[in-house]
Structure 1
Amino acid sequence: MMMKNINTMNLIEEIKKDTEEIIEKNQVAPITVEGYQAYIENGNRLQFERQYFERRRQLVTLGLALLLDDNNLSNIRMLEKIMWEVCNEYTWALPAHLDYGGEAAYDRDSPYMVDLFSAETAQTLSELVEIHGNSFSQIVKSRVESEIERRVLKPFERKEWEWEHLENNWSAVIASCIGMTALSMLKSQQERQEKIIKRLSISFDSYFRSFENDGVCEEGIGYWIYGFGYYCYFAEKYQQNYQSDQFLSEPLLKKIAAFPFYTQIGNRSFVPFSDAENPELPSGLISFCHRYFQVPVPFLDQATSLHFDHCYRWAHLSRNLLWTGTVENEQAEGVHYFSDAEWLVANFKEEKVVFAAKGGSNNESHNHNDVGHFIFGSQEELLLTDLGAGEYTRGYFLEETRYSILNNRSLGHSVPIINGCEQIAGDHQAEKVEFTESADGFRFSMNLEGVYGKESQITDYHRKWQWVKDEKMLFLQDEIHFNRNMNNKVLQNFISHYQPLIQENKISWKGEKCQVDLFFSDKLDEARTIREEYRTHQGDIREVYRLVLSAKKLTNNYKRKYKLQVKEN
């Protein structure tokens, strides 16, 4: 462990470079009607969102540039032009979050939809005016404040919103943005400000119900950054305004703040369960968690890049510039078990082995049908992996189509297909989950019959992992019993971005840094490889390989034990 002062010069240089480019082009990024039409016609989100977030990049970059130099008149005038065009937008919400009817038109209340991004836009604009208001012309300031009132604050005050009761990132992000907006804009309206902030407790209570005592964000590390990050930004701003720790005193916050540290599996990689990506952590947020909550934090060596977040959120980026500071650099080592979420994360530096597995349920926020799934590899490279979040389209969030997408269905995870059945979505969970650790290693086991449904014909399914320290070997054991005497078919399924090499009694995945070997009996199982394609969160098509081990004999009782090891290349 060592103390390290995190340098922000890289971020400052990026801000200066992008500012020069924006000033030189002297053009506000357009947002055209075609993006709105594309979502209604075919559910495509990216066409609109690329334009929307490019404009937000311009907005935020110039706002950051003024933090570095608040006397640059060219920057001020260009920022005013961008702010004016943001005020001219049809709506600050994304098309994916708007209501629309059978006439292929968005609801007339779309300009007043309070979603994640309308709230973020209000927070950005209000804080820009709060910080740089003396530099802006009165017409721009008045317009900005009027649009924030019209589009966000008054709609929020007029009615109860569904997101106030969602137990996920929505309740945290939107409420935090509204709270920060009220703190920035309503300084002269104390009673109204206090009333708004008091109401936010409904949303914050909803958000914290998504956590158990172990502090796991079941939505994945990216949504920890989003939901918990925005909550911290609001809570700190409230503390500065009212000299009160009201929103920072809950003991659970410390557990949540430590979540990234215990799920870090490499210098810049994290357990990729659920709709996770492999994001960079905001250095400002991490510095705040370390300083305020006194928790261990993941490895940081410089301020997070201007481009780490394709949405270019002001709250993240401004805090990265202003809050990034000294942290104790260390990495988690050994085994950490999250007993409520039923996640096990093992990080063995000496052996250069990383393993994680999960129980839980198939009814989680941003759910994947992945109970009993695991990942395996080294700190530098996962060979048995998780696909993480897919491309967000309309179909991605519809119950009837979500589990036809490889990222989300159990076929895209390292769990078996049993009698042609994948796991089913809903309130189905692992049972009899047990974890034990000793000097010799650990054992992690669970029963999975409840997540497959009746058509699988399962009466009992016990899955167990065992790490044997002296052998540097992971053992995977499956034992399945059926309610019929014959014709039961089990297909083991292992997911990797690397094509496996099938040999006699051994399968190898060779990556760039390491190799994973799986030992099996070719007398019992037949091995084959199936190449699949899926879409990443950015919409790119990527290949993935499913290794399938199918039992050569149909049976009433199925029992297999596989050995897995990691070797350096």
Structure 2
Amino acid sequence: MPAIDRFTGPLAAAWPGVGPALLEQVLEPPETSLPVPPAQERATWAESRLDVPTLRRLRARAEEDLGQPWPSPLARHYARYFRDGDRDTYEQLVFARQRRLSRASVLAAATLDPDWLDEVVDGVVLLCEQSSWCWPAHDDTHTLHGAVLPTMTDPVLDLGAGEVAAQLAWIDHLLGGPLDQHTPGLRPRIRHEVDRRVLTPFAERRDWHWLGLDGDVHNWNAWIHANVLVAALRLVDDPPRRAAIVDLIIEGLDRYVASLPVDGAVDEGYGYWWQGACRALEALDILAHASGGRLDGVPGEALRHTVAFPHRMHLGGAWYLNHADGVARPPATQPWEALYRAARRVGDRDALAHAAAHRDRDAPVADEEQGLGRLLRALSHQEWINAAPGVPPLPRDVWLPSIEVLLARPTQGSPAGLTLAIKGGHNGEHHNHNDVGGFVVALNGVPVLVDAGRPTYTAQTFGPDRYDIWTMQSAWHNVPHIRGTAQATGHAYRARDVAAVTGHAKTELSLDIAAAYPRTDVRHWRRSARLERDSGRIVVTDAWDLAPTDASAPTHIHLLAAGDVQLSAGQAEITARHGAGRLRLTWQPASAPGTATARPLDDPMLISVWGRTLTRLEIDVGAATATGTFVLTVEESPTREVSSSEVPDDQER
């Protein structure tokens, strides 16, 4: 590969002189380079010292594992991605294998029991003998070799490979001494497999797309670099080579940090924050430890602000604003300890409170779903274990200009009443949906006018037919469908003339979304959405100017609802899910006819969030009207008794 000039960003500026020579001097030796005590330190890992709810749950699951065969991802499962687009079957088997190994690793550290060490050894060897650590959706084996199975001589370093490498490094660190005594020869096997599959490809190939050398930097960069860092620190014994690899990692992370906007927002949304910005913060924390504090701090304003992104996207309870491929009700088991630690480092009290709000002392401090490293850090972080439950900050107003997302609620600290969220941006974002001008309305923290999010990933999701998936199309977002035309995909299809106003009486975003549509006859389409705090209502106004035409398809305002919809002339009532209450929608002109189309859901991910059905309202604002105005008013309706016949199907499950 030709030499590439070193990238210099916030990390290079904060750490003058960083490079292989300095790193060789300051890095801790492998055995002390990771910020978790090894199992021999019984003050941390003895059963009596570990968090009781966490150990109890892990033990119950691990003991159940012992009576079952290990999950076995097969060749046919791998090949399915290239045959019929199914990636989930293979991935879920791999994830189950890794989770079982993580559970066994903690039990082995807690007990030093030979039976648990055997379980760990079995899991490690299974991973070492697994043909590929790359997930099939990321493997270029078919493109380069015409194969539907991994090419063993050409390993791909993707998210999956990084995850396995880091897991094996954490196991080597945690259980290295006991494993040397119990199963001599296992640790050299770990080093061999991690080196050939991850460390050597990382060091020798500089054309990985996720490095961001073309300027397109996204969450893969931070996620993979953070995992390779753990592997390099623990598993590379040659000091010059170790320093050289860590230097490449720092340079790569610097590209990611430099790509973050000053407001700390992530265009991939809340769900991907945990696997992007959070991974970068975790990597910097590990670097601070591994360098004995020489590479310390959280350089750059963007990194300090991104710690606030999760609580800024919080609607209330389990619900979050889910633009892009996000999920409106994500799993509760996020790595809250990682956020807590990052918030403490940057001094963000609101982010600290948001993390602490998820600390229940009767529940585990973390689980294996988020990876072994995150589990070990939470189990060994006494401040997190003892943290008093906090109260979510729920800021009154959020405006993130870099991604043009606004969120407003009546009162800081409470999800009560109506919450408005609306976005501008463009249709070329990472994990993009065509949704410029789309908005969400939550009632008492529960989304009612919604963004459906994404279904289970398949080959189609990131292929040329992505926008054949209905959840990606503007026709199924809360935006206009102009003269029968949906929004188009690409950076050029964007909001213009965007203006946000936040204030005590009202908060409002206005924008022109005409350029999001592939039509030349849309002179402007001005949308404004405001939360009026005195009345507690939300008002969305659309004003348009279209070039006259002799014949055109109708123009509709689309609204996607979660709940039971009752439609009548000029209005609709929606009974929200989960007992959140009822919304009344009214519009002017009241003569604009509305229809409702039920969308049965058959994808398990969508069903887990919304139940069995979503409903689209289609309000016809005129087939030939060249100019016009449409005003939608959203208010909370008085609560009434709901009969059993009116309970949505998903609440009966």
- Residue 45 and residue 405 in structure 1: after superposition, are their counterparts in 2 closer, same or farther (change >3 A)? same
Q: Among residues 200, 216, 222, which one is paired with 1:154 in the alignment? A: 200
Any gaps of 5 or more consecutive residues in structure 1?
A: 1-6
Within-5 A mapping of 1:3-402? 9-25=52-68, 27-67=69-109, 69-99=110-140, 100-101=142-143, 103-106=146-149, 108-109=151-152, 112-136=155-179, 137-160=183-206, 161-165=208-212, 166-186=216-236, 188-242=237-291, 243-246=293-296, 248-277=298-327, 278-279=329-330, 280=332, 281-295=334-348, 296-297=350-351, 298=354, 299-302=357-360, 312-323=370-381, 324-325=384-385, 326=387, 328-348=390-410, 349=414, 351-398=416-463, 400-402=464-466
Identical counterparts, % of pairs: 20
SS at match of 1:500: strand
The amino acid that maps onto 1:248 is: V
Contact 1:119 1:174 (C-alpha < 8 Å) held by counterparts: yes
The amino acid that maps onto 1:230 is: R
Contact 1:536 1:542 (C-alpha < 8 Å) held by counterparts: no
Q: Which residue of 2 aligns with 1:3?
A: none
* Structure 1 residue 458 corresponds to structure 2 residue 508: no
* Structure 1 residue 559 corresponds to structure 2 residue 629: yes
SS at match of 1:403: helix
- Residue 381 and residue 371 in structure 1: after superposition, are their counterparts in 2 closer, same or farther (change >3 A)? same
CA distance in 2, matches of 1:431, 1:552: 24
- Residue 215 and residue 536 in structure 1: after superposition, are their counterparts in 2 closer, same or farther (change >3 A)? farther
Return the offset for 1:119: 0.8
User: In the TM superposition, what whole-angstrom CA distance separates every residue of 1:221-244 from its partner, at most 9, and x where no partner exists?
Assistant: 111011123222222222112123
Q: Among residues 556, 563, 580, which one is paired with 1:513 in the alignment? A: 580
Q: Among residues 539, 556, 560, which one is paired with 1:491 in the alignment? A: 556
CA distance in 2, matches of 1:130, 1:553: 67
Return the offset for 1:109: 4.7
Return the offset for 1:135: 1.1
SS at match of 2:252: helix
Return the offset for 1:418: 0.5
Q: Which residue of 1 aligns with 2:535?
A: 471
Return the offset for 1:521: 4.1
Return the offset for 1:486: 5.0
Contact 1:15 1:306 (C-alpha < 8 Å) held by counterparts: no
Contact 1:513 1:568 (C-alpha < 8 Å) held by counterparts: no
SS at match of 1:395: coil
Any gaps of 5 or more consecutive residues in structure 2?
A: 1-49, 640-653
**Structure 1 or 2: larger strand share?**
1
* Structure 1 residue 529 corresponds to structure 2 residue 596: yes
Return the offset for 1:8: 5.1
SS at match of 1:517: strand
- Cα RMSD after superposing both structures: 2.3
Return the offset for 1:192: 1.3
Contact 2:359 2:365 (C-alpha < 8 Å) held by counterparts: no
CA distance in 1, matches of 2:277, 2:602: 27
Give the TM-score, by structure 2 length: 0.81
User: In the TM superposition, what whole-angstrom CA distance separates every residue of 1:178-235 from its partner, at most 9, and x where no partner exists?
Assistant: 111111112x322211111111234223323542111111111111011123222222
CA distance in 2, matches of 1:356, 1:458: 25
Q: Which residue of 1 aligns with 2:614?
A: 544
Return the offset for 1:249: 2.6
- Residue 64 and residue 567 in structure 1: after superposition, are their counterparts in 2 closer, same or farther (change >3 A)? farther
- Residue 545 and residue 194 in structure 1: after superposition, are their counterparts in 2 closer, same or farther (change >3 A)? same
Return the offset for 1:158: 1.7
Within-5 A mapping of 1:424-463? 424-427=488-491, 428-454=493-519, 457-463=521-527
- Residue 493 and residue 190 in structure 1: after superposition, are their counterparts in 2 closer, same or farther (change >3 A)? same
- Residue 163 and residue 535 in structure 1: after superposition, are their counterparts in 2 closer, same or farther (change >3 A)? farther
CA distance in 2, matches of 1:544, 1:350: 23
CA distance in 2, matches of 1:453, 1:308: 47
Return the offset for 1:391: 1.6
SS at match of 1:340: coil
Contact 2:570 2:586 (C-alpha < 8 Å) held by counterparts: yes
Return the offset for 1:408: 1.0
The amino acid that maps onto 2:471 is: N
Return the offset for 1:111: 5.9
CA distance in 2, matches of 1:450, 1:265: 29
CA distance in 1, matches of 2:153, 2:471: 31
- Residue 397 and residue 475 in structure 1: after superposition, are their counterparts in 2 closer, same or farther (change >3 A)? same
- Residue 83 and residue 351 in structure 1: after superposition, are their counterparts in 2 closer, same or farther (change >3 A)? closer
Contact 1:214 1:341 (C-alpha < 8 Å) held by counterparts: no
- Residue 66 and residue 247 in structure 1: after superposition, are their counterparts in 2 closer, same or farther (change >3 A)? farther
Q: Which moved more, 1:467-476 or 1:239-248?
A: 239-248
Return the offset for 1:539: 7.3
Q: Which residue of 1 aligns with 2:36?
A: none
Q: Which moved more, 1:280-289 or 1:125-134?
A: 280-289
The amino acid that maps onto 2:196 is: R
Return the offset for 1:66: 3.2
SS at match of 2:260: coil
